Chains A and B, each alone.
Chain A
């Protein structure tokens, strides 16, 4: 938590004052690991830090530091044992993700995207399905960060009330959702990601999988229409697919621990690792753009 607070001090200012194009790269996280087990713990919420957290998540200013950058891992490398080994986290976070970060930083040194926030970079570099060279690295940095945040030690179990209600509404039951998540993960061929997303237009949860580095941020929705970025100058863009959970299905994510048994890996993720607390926070954020229920006008 201490690392968290010190990291937050370097935030430029509250959301409204953040320029759309940050000309200098934002240093948000230091290169240390902190242990934050529960984002929705009472003390955390009391501090009001969660507002910052939501802000951080929504702006994704986590990107880039030109010199010695490394992403914050919100838990220690052995925190996900026995489901994901220390060795795997060390390689996955310390090597694979670091490679993406390094390559992106290298590209940004001479790129027109220098100074973009990561979300914007991903959307624009996706270029309506004709990705520019920065796309893969940027999307993979974002995807991995989102992935680590999607987990917590002693995770799994049952979602919080609001999330659970929505899951029951859209999948019938939590068991159905779990089955669907596993089925979707297993039917992805090759490398990629499986996601729980909130579809803005349909106002419902959905499980989707994407190939390699493809991110729902860029995808828009099924017909691939991307919201005009001009519509949302200083607020986070209302995405058509709001990601809530993702799981890395590249073989490097599980091969050392599970070999070819992807089913066991996915099952352990959903049963023991997924952080429903994070999902609750992400859903809070998403609900700023999606009205999930009937409008409830308070009586004066």
Chain B
């Protein structure tokens, strides 16, 4: 499990630990809640420490715990030879690992666990002034990309500002819970803005799409701080976006 290697030193998911330990004893590869590479307060004032703590320790941790539970169930089903259950669980887990099916994942927390992980660790730059982003000339995130990705954005959207405006507008218009993405079509080498409902991963919008950036517009991602004013959240989040990550993915995918 790729997440296993990415998971860092210590885990905050106390609740997930006994399960993980039990599973490890039986040879099931579970995932641990990844640490954040920065403090909860690192994104203030764009995102408050309280939100980061709840989002990570409560929402994200629950999804991780449930994911492990599904793996456990799969293991048990395999041990028992319960074929229907195996098929059911495997397809669920595969889907949520970025798989194929178009149908709704029966185990939503799986996908959400992955999305949260991306959101925290990859899409958000983290510690202001750090995170290896100095070479981009700014504090932490927010500084738009200058390299190939910068050119591509100009080409596909007109300007960086136009992209920000488009993503913010689509995020604000999204009904209910979901995500808004900056996506790269691997084949066409073209950037686009996509939205997905709830936990649906970007692949549901096209098999060739690779996520460069994603913004969580579930209300729990901003409600304590911004209340009903989602547009303010969407305009502030650009201050902490991890363009370094987006640039690297872009270069790798187009190389």
Contacts and interface: CB of A to CB of B under 8 A. Distances in A.
B199 interface: yes
Contact of A260 (B177, B197, B220, B227): B220
Contact of B228 (A96, A189, A190, A260): A96
Interface stretch (A33-41, A157-165, A250-258): A250-258
Given A95-B228, A212-B176, A191 B223 contact: no
A259 B54 contact: yes
A190 B199 CA distance: 8
Interface string B214-240: 000011100110011000000000000
B197 A91 contact: no
A190 B62 CA distance: 15
B219 A260 contact: no
Interface string A255-286: 11001100000000000000000000000000
Given A212-B176, A213-B175, A251-B177, A191 B219 contact: yes
Interface string A185-218: 0000111100000000000000000011100000
A168 interface: no
B49 interface: no
Contact of A136 (B54, B59, B175, B219): B175
B108 interface: yes
A180 interface: no
Contacts of B218: 190, 251
A287 interface: no
A259 B228 contact: no
A221 interface: no
Contact of B224 (A96, A136, A191, A256): A256
A173 to B, nearest CB: 29
Contact of A251 (B108, B175, B197, B220): B220
A78 interface: no
Interface in A220-269: 250-252, 255-256, 259-260
What is the interface residue range for chain A against chain B?
Answer: 10 to 19
B100 to A, nearest CB: 20
B58 interface: yes
A291 to B, nearest CB: 36
Contact of A192 (B54, B176, B224): B176
Contacts of B220: 251, 255, 259-260
A189 B227 CA distance: 20
Interface centre among A99, A190, A255, A259 (most CB of B within 10 A): A190
Contacts of A99: 228
B178 interface: yes
A219 B12 CA distance: 43
B198 interface: yes
Given A190-B218, A260-B58, A252 B176 contact: no
A190 B227 contact: no
A91 B227 contact: yes
Contact of A252 (B108, B199, B228): B228
Given A190-B199, A250-B219, A259-B58, A211 B228 contact: no
Given A260-B54, A260-B59, A190 B176 contact: yes
A251 B199 CA distance: 15
A252 B177 contact: no
Nearest 4 CB-CB pairings of A with B: A191-B176, A251-B219, A190-B198, A212-B176
5 contacts: A190-B178, A190-B198, A251-B218, A251-B219, A256-B223
